[in-house]
Amino acid sequence: MFRVRKPTPIDPEEYKQLKFLYNAYSTHMRSLRHFFLMQLQEKIKQTEMIKKTDFSEDIQEFEQLLKENELWNEEAKKIREVDMAKAQAEAELAQLSKKERFERRKLNKILAAEEKVMKERNTIFILEENLDQEIEKVIDARVDYNFAIDKQGNVIKSEMESLGDKKDQESEIDKS
């Protein structure tokens, strides 16, 4: 805590060498600063000279380039408008064809529905005039729900039905 550090001893030869190197470094840095300062002053002079020169030729050339650019832009605009018109026409044709297909489908559905209605109308309906005949047909028609289906899908009818068929056949023979 109360110890005072003794300075590091300096080697005299090393001190001379370091002093020489430091002076050389400082000289080099001053010369570089001077060099860069001279370059900066030279550029400033050049820009001032450029500002004083007449740019009328450059301005005319620039205006000519602007006019040429405007012409190119107009040509590009015309080409773009033609392409846009073509694309719009194609889109309209596609829309019309899509609309036509939709209308055709709709018409086909309507025709199919009308055809279905006509088929239903052509079926025989029971009217008041033929109501009695239809009732007699239903009463005379015998339906036997007593049957079986084997594993192969064959329908096996009951024996009573076959007997009933024989009786019907016999009664038809008797009538004639």
What does the DSSP assignment read for the chain? ----PPPPPPPHHHHHHHHHHHHHHHHHHHHHHHHHHHHHHHHHHHHHHHHHS--HHHHHHHHHHHHHHHHHHHHHHHHHHHHHHHHHHHHHHHHHHHHHHHHHHHHHHHHHHHHHHHHHHHSPPP-STTHHHHHHHHHH------EEE-TT--EEE-HHHHHHHHHHHHHHHHH-
pLDDT of residue 13: 96
Domain span holding position 141? 125-166
Judge whether residue 17 has pLDDT over 90.
yes
Q: Is residue 150 part of a domain?
A: yes
- Residue 68 counted as domain residue: no
Tell me, what's the pLDDT at 168? 57
How sure is the predictor about 99, in pLDDT bands with cuts at 50, 70 and 90?
A: very high
Has residue 4 been placed in a domain? no
Q: Does pLDDT of 70 surpass 90?
A: yes
Cβ(144)–Cβ(158) under 8 Å?
yes
The count of domains in the chain is 2
Residue 55 falls within a domain, yes or no? no
The last residue of a domain, from among 46, 61, 86: 46
* Alpha-carbon distance values, 73 to 62, 63, 68, 115 (Å): 16, 15, 9, 62
- Report if pTM > 0.75: no
Whole-number pLDDT of residue 169: 56
- The verdict on residue 146 lying in a domain is yes
